[in-house]
Amino acid sequence: EKEGKVKIPETTEGIFKEIHKHHMELAETVKNKKLADVHHHAFAIRDLANALPAKAAADKKKQVEGTVKNIAKLAGDLDESGDANDQAKTEANLKKLDGLIKVLETQFGIKTEGKEEHKH
């Protein structure tokens, strides 16, 4: 069935909130070995991330575009490893995605909640 288009929030905060929601669901999906559902969340994250370069500060736009491009590529990798039912590879791809989402947050100056120590 066709993927429902993910609704893109108006604000950067809203977009990150949705990215986090899908990221958590993606992590759950992988943990529970429901690899057939991986693409749904991976592509939702990709579509949400695609809305971010337009909201980036001018001096950060290029960096954000680069990160978003990497997220899109990784969404494709997650789709493939999920469809191939390759748990190890999907976990490895998810780890890379974790890192990219952190990079994206840094580019927008967003502090990840849940982390106590903020090194400045």
Distances (CA, A) of 14 to 6, 74, 105: 13, 22, 13
Q: What is the DSSP letter of 108?
A: T
117 falls in which pLDDT band (50, 70, 90)? very low
For residue range 29-46, list pLDDT tens digits in order: 999 999 999 999 999 999
- Is the pLDDT score of 1 beyond 60? no
pLDDT of residue 5: 73
pLDDT of residue 110: 83
Please state the rounded mean pLDDT for residues 8-14.
95
Query: By three-state DSSP, how is residue 42 classified?
Result: helix
Predicted structure pTM score? 0.88
Q: Which 3-state string (H, E, C) describes 61-105?
A: HHHHHHHHHHHHHHHHHHHHHHHCCCHHHHHHHHHHHHHHHHHHH
pLDDT of residue 6: 84
Report d(CA 66, CA 13) in Å as an integer.
20
Joined tokens for residue 38: 């991986």
Phi, psi of 108 (to 5 degrees): -100, 5
For residue range 43-61, list pLDDT tens digits in order: 999 999 999 999 999 999 9
